Structure 1
Amino acid sequence: MISSILYLHGFCSSPASWKVGVLKKALDDRGQGYRLICPTLSPVPEEAIAQAEAIIESRVGPLTLVGSSLGGYYATWLAEKHLLRAALINPAIVAPISLQKYLGTQTNLHTGASFEFTEAHIDQLRALEAPEITPGRYLLMVEKGDEVLDYRDAVTRYAGCRQEVFDGGDHSFTRFPDMLPQLLEFCGL
């Protein structure tokens, strides 16, 4: 069966992000670009999850989630609910708390589209917190230099999971190109 990747981008991001581009090129170079699914997620958490679940339910064959930042938060909830594996890149661990400071008008970094981020969205995020995780499902990739999220929260939350923790870097996860072999192996590609 054909293995696929469902990539879940972060808050105010899109399929035009740097990491998606690097991953797509790597898969295209292998003749496997068709294995990458990366929808433009709604800024509304419930809608983003509904989008991802529609893809999960329509897939035939193995599917691995790859989530960056808020996408990592979503990937954790989805992995536990649908018994999937997930690679997490500088994931948001306490999204309802860390995103509180972004209430109000936000602009997508790639499309320029604006949206209102509200308390109702924070409540939706609270409902998506996975109370427990299954360590064997996850590959955690974090950089200590992440200026947006504290990497230690992720290391603690995903204790017992396969972890790749690097000095330096930033929230974009600068070592992403170097980690592609491990990521693709984890995804069964």
Structure 2
Amino acid sequence: MDPQTTHLLYLHGFRSSPRSTKARIVADRVARRHPNLQWWCPQLPPSPHDAIDMVMKGIAHWPRKSMAVVGSSLGGYYATYVAGMTRCRAVLLNPAVHPARDLMLYIGDQTAWHDPAEHFYFRPEYIHELRAMEVGPLTRPERVFAIIAKGDEALDWHEMSARYPDSNIKLLEGGDHALSDFEKAHLDDVMAFINPV
């Protein structure tokens, strides 16, 4: 039996931020019902290498057995890396599976979803950084819970499902990339899997 989660990391997606709807929903649930749970949702830099370096340094002293990570989209790819390195519990929300391929279309100037005035440059070398983070099959697939929407307009649900064959998968018949019904339909399942104090 796994110990209850004491530390929770949330990783947002590409062009997103800790102000994303899902990040704020989880943060609010943690604040209201799990005030003793250590919560961290950092603003990730555009460089995948810098993002994962910051994350791994930030969780270096977290207890591996009682930490968990939630990742959305590109954050789901990062969360898979974190789970591969730490074997912690992970919840993946429409996780990116082949970002090195998919994000080649986005090389150049980008704007942030939550503040169009905020720009960043997605560099060609970031594609190589993403490739370097591929972790292969997970050693503890049962510690992963993926929510995958067949209606995802950005990512292929077949690829997402195939990436986590031995994990717990909640496959939605419709839905969208943002999981617009996240709070009403999925938040309780996420928190139950994380099993926070």
Instruction: Provide the secondary structure at the position in 2 that maps to 1:64.
Output: strand
In the alignment, which of 142, 167, 170 is matched to residue 176 of structure 2?
Answer: 170
Q: Which stretches of structure 1, 4 residues or longer, exceed 6 Å deviation after superposition?
A: none
How many residues of Structure 1 are paired with residues of Structure 2 in the alignment?
Answer: 189
Instruction: Provide the secondary structure at the position in 1 that maps to 2:169.
Output: strand
Partner of 2:49: 46
Shift of 1:150: 0.7
Matches within 5 A, 1:97-176: 97-111=101-115, 112-134=117-139, 135-176=141-182
Q: Which deviations, in whole Å up to 9, do the C-alpha atoms of 1:56-90 show, x marking residues without a partner?
A: 10324721010000001011111111222211000
Partner of 1:91: 95
CA contact 1:24–1:33 (8 Å) conserved in 2: no
Instruction: Provide the secondary structure at the position in 2 that maps to 1:113.
Output: strand
CA contact 1:6–1:37 (8 Å) conserved in 2: yes
Partner of 1:64: 68
> Partners of 1:131 and 1:31 in 2: how far apart?
33
Partner of 2:12: 9
Letter in 1 for 2:123: T
> Partners of 2:56 and 2:156 in 1: how far apart?
28
Cα separation, partners in 2 of 1:143 and 1:2, compared to 1, 3 Å = closer
Partner of 1:186: 193
> Partners of 1:93 and 1:80 in 2: how far apart?
14
- TM-score, reference length from structure 1: 0.94
What 5-or-longer segments of structure 1 have no aligned partner? none
Letter in 2 for 1:145: G
Kindly, what percent of the aligned residue pairs are identical? 37
CA contact 1:15–1:39 (8 Å) conserved in 2: yes
What 5-or-longer segments of structure 2 have no aligned partner? none
CA contact 2:100–2:128 (8 Å) conserved in 1: yes
- TM-score, reference length from structure 2: 0.90
CA contact 1:73–1:93 (8 Å) conserved in 2: yes
Shift of 1:37: 0.9
> Partners of 1:65 and 1:104 in 2: how far apart?
29
Q: Which deviates further from its counterpart, 55-64 or 41-50?
A: 55-64
> Partners of 1:27 and 1:54 in 2: how far apart?
23
CA contact 1:67–1:75 (8 Å) conserved in 2: yes
